Each structure stands twice: as structure tokens, then as C-alpha cells.
Amino acid sequence: MTHLKKGDDAPAIHAKDHKGNEITLDSLKGKKVVLYFYPKDDTPGCTAEACSFRDEYSELKDRGFEIIGVSADDEKKHNKFADKYDLPFPLIPDTEKEIINAYGVWGLKKFMGREYDGIHRETFVIDEEGKIDLVITKVKSKAAAQQILEAYA
């Protein structure tokens, strides 16, 4: 789905997370950033993915990764989702789909014979210099964090 590939400059991010904290990629230079896009808070696949990152959060942090989730849900839904599942990382409410479109994860989806526009579940790892280092287009919801850990083993 995405047009981005390894070595490309990561599109800029300038947003507030679900707690109102400012997040920019520039402020995260020098760190590896796992930027994961997911369709909707509190749905089975999205919950499994978020909990995968939560469960491996310490290991990911120890390896120098920052985790950021992005969906089109609003701040209120993100707060409820983060509180319900004790998520220790920021979620960006991208209701205007600026980041979602910049990363090319919005598009036609098919489910049970129906076609509609939505967010494709994709994960990007951005290196310390702000370049795309890894793109995962076939995310395994229950093992999303393991996909990152294995790729950087």
C-alpha cells in the first residue's frame, strides 16, 4: 500500500498525542522510532497489536526503540483505549489523516466482500537519522513487537 521504502526520508510528524504532549520526529532524532498505523481503537486485531507492543515495551526500550501508534480515532477514544489496556506509549489521534496520508496507509480495503476506504495496518521503523529503515506491510497483530525484535536481532 505505502509508497515509502527503506532509505526514504520519513515524512515529518508534528502532532499531539492522546495526552496532549507534542510529538515531532525531529525531537526523536538519535532514536529508532516504531511508528505503527492501525485501523481502530478497541477492536480485536488492534487491541492484540497494541498489547503486543505493551508486553514487549521494556525490551523494545532497552534496544533503543520509541513506540508510537497512529489511527484516525480521536483523543477521547485513544485515552480510553490506552487506559483500558495500560499502554505505556503515545497514540496520535490523526483525525484529519495528515500523517496517515503522508505515510500512504489510507486506501481501499476489502472485508467480507465489501470494499471501503480505511487505514491499512502497517509499521515503519525510522532510524536515528530520520530515514525509513524497515516497512512491515504484513503485520501479525498478536506478534507485532516480535516482528520488530526479530528484524533487529
Can you tell me the distance from the alpha carbon of 38 to that of 21, in angstroms, rounded to the nearest whole number? 20
Catalytic status, residue 46: yes
Per annotation, catalytic residue among 28, 33, 46, 60 = 46
Paired sense of beta strands 91-93 and 65-71, if any = parallel
Which of 147, 128, 111 has its CA nearest to residue 36? 147
72: helix, coil or strand? coil
Angle at 10 between CA 5 and CA 11, to 5 degrees: 120
Q: Catalytic positions, please?
A: 46
